[in-house]
Structure 1
Amino acid sequence: MLTFFRIFCAAAPGIAGGQRRHRLRPQVAPQVAPQVEQLLLAMGGEMSREALQRLLGLQDRKSFRERYLGPALAEGLVEMTIADRPTSRLQRYRLAERGRRCRRERHAG
């Protein structure tokens, strides 16, 4: 284990001594994938998955869930209207407060 620590620290100078080489700046707007950004821009009010896919011109349900809707839900940018029943046929999606803020910040400049 000590050998791993020495190799790791040799490859990343400054870590063993507790030094920080670069200071991280806080982000104003969260980084979002281009697909998620497209989804945020397309959303208006409460919308079904089918309506969102149609609006974005997408046909593959699995791809839409994995590349658009899933990441947006995980990041808290989009929320479900029936959160306790995610597979409900009546499920709709809407922008969460964080999603509205992100959309405003991206189009303010």
Structure 2
Amino acid sequence: MDEMAVANLDARIQHAMFRTKRVREFQCRFPPIEPRDSELLPRIGWSQIERQLRSLAGPDFERAAWETEVLRVSARMNPPELFYRELLTLAWSLIDGVRAPSLTEVGMD
């Protein structure tokens, strides 16, 4: 393996460790709760989420598309409540016109 491949592998391992730690910290702060049927959210697809985020983004349309893809990838690995937190944070940032803060910046309160 050359030096770049080793550095890339190290970076990927560090990122995976960071994501795992982040999910664990979130679940400690917000232990999973099984919702009752009456509390379930309406069904919605990615195309509807993306359409609404792009609408909220206004002139920041390109960032909304990129951020939606990042959100989509992270949704596969994150607990549902963490996904919704990130979706709400992204929506807020698009409305406010600033980059979405990370969970560490927000403090998960």
TM-score by length of 2: 0.30
Query: Which structure: greater helix fraction?
Result: 2
**Structure ranking higher on relative contact order (CA contacts 8 Å, 6+ apart):** 1
Larger radius of gyration: 1
Query: Which structure: greater strand fraction?
Result: 1
TM-score by length of 1: 0.30
